[in-house]
Structure 1
């Protein structure tokens, strides 16, 4: 009994001096993988040794057995390198799980010309901006349709179709920012994708902004939202998709570069280039280009017409 009383008294005693709580501080936002610095040679935009926009003249949309297109038809799949992170151009619909966007529509038109219908005949391969040339050089894909700007440096390694879309580099900032041009971002961090012509422009601009490079444009969006960079700069098409996803952001200033998108093809597949150019002629003239543009791009960037092709 005495032991029980002693135990009861002990349990009712003073709890002792409280412990100090652990110090609380703001945790740093995690950064995406493979964050890098400037690359003044990215994209090869400074090379003027050719007419970058001149492509091989179109053939027809027939598919000869002894051709690159015939090989693709026997395989049963067109393998296309695309983006899955750029809203409006190449992104995965969170509801259906399907890849959608303007670039995806272009892939489907090429598949339609080969197979009669794209359904079940396209194998999409999601690639980063920096992988576009590599997958073509290694013949890991048949085409790359991924906001791929045509440059003379790139044409030394891969083939390009005629221009199917014209874009221009601009700036994305928060609505609180006072910046409207690159000169306003001197010494500030600007995000761009690795090996892109946008990264090269930032790295060589006289205002001397600080270029931060990442694998995907979606990484730039997250870094801007988290305050890790002061702006994102790339083609207005890509920035429009970012602004559409986040109403606290806005695209500012005019275009300060001209970016001409082409469909990439392995260097030795000239017959595929001519075939793709024939498909693009039909896309421009038959209304498919305008239908896709109205669906994906016009609400953000206004009305436009397909660019005229230039052939060698």
Structure 2
């Protein structure tokens, strides 16, 4: 190999070693992982693959999105490499059961914190807050939430918005489907008057489907956290430390624009990830 090629290869190798050493050093500075996860050499994390920009299937079939990148950073902090996170797609309906069955160590999957869920799992600190919104056909007469009275809406099974809708909109009919894709398809087919989901998801879908639009009035302010099995305080401490690091750095400022194009929505997402939630 020519000298210049040898020198370049040496520099690249040195750089890779420095980055690897830096990642390892960061991993060592974090609180300890549970022994079982250390021995496994990986941390199993459930993510959404039907809820952009939080998590969706990319062109290569692999998960991509803001929460997916968070999961990879947890793997990096845990083992010095993003490969330390073993990612699996989960549905809203099955994510908690998969966690408690021992198939996963964590779920970072648009998991709203509710009193009912806190009876069966533990949460990390809050990492995101925001309202939910409604997606309707572009030519729909529905302009505000009160217009949904006596109408039907679609939600994903297990959605936290169900309780709010039933309590605040008289005579509303709620149809539960398995996935976001099912909800969008049903809405496009005219099987309901609207589709309800997390604000970031709904605005992203509104941008992707010209025949649909978003009702700007928000509903059901909620907060998201990382889910874990009850009593895993060591893992909870580790995850909270990672979330603190992500918020202190430029992680969210860098990652959010990769998955959200509309500037106004980027600002809303940054606020939800970086600012403290209102008192709820």
1:115 is aligned to 2:68: no
Contact 1:164–1:307 (CA under 8 A) maintained in structure 2: no
Q: Please identify, of 161-170 and 272-281, the stretch whose mean Cα deviation from structure 2 is larger.
A: 161-170
1:183 is aligned to 2:146: yes
Among 269, 281, 302, the alignment partner of 2:232 is 269
1:28 corresponding residue in structure 2: none
Report which of the two has the higher share of helix.
2
Unpaired segments ≥5 residues, structure 1: 1-59
2:69 corresponding residue in structure 1: 105
1:135 is aligned to 2:98: yes
Q: Which contiguous aligned blocks of 4+ residues in structure 1 show a shift greater than 4 angstroms?
A: none
Contact 1:171–1:233 (CA under 8 A) maintained in structure 2: yes
Q: Distance in 2 between matches of 1:80 and 1:143?
A: 5
Among 129, 133, 153, the alignment partner of 1:166 is 129
Among 41, 48, 51, the alignment partner of 1:83 is 48
Structure with higher RCO (Cα < 8 A, 6+ apart): 1
Report the TM-score when normalising by structure 1: 0.74
Contact 2:121–2:228 (CA under 8 A) maintained in structure 1: yes
Among 169, 187, 194, the alignment partner of 1:231 is 194
Unpaired segments ≥5 residues, structure 2: 1-27
- Higher-Rg member (1/2): 1
Q: Distance in 1 between matches of 2:131 and 2:56?
A: 20
Contact 1:162–1:309 (CA under 8 A) maintained in structure 2: no
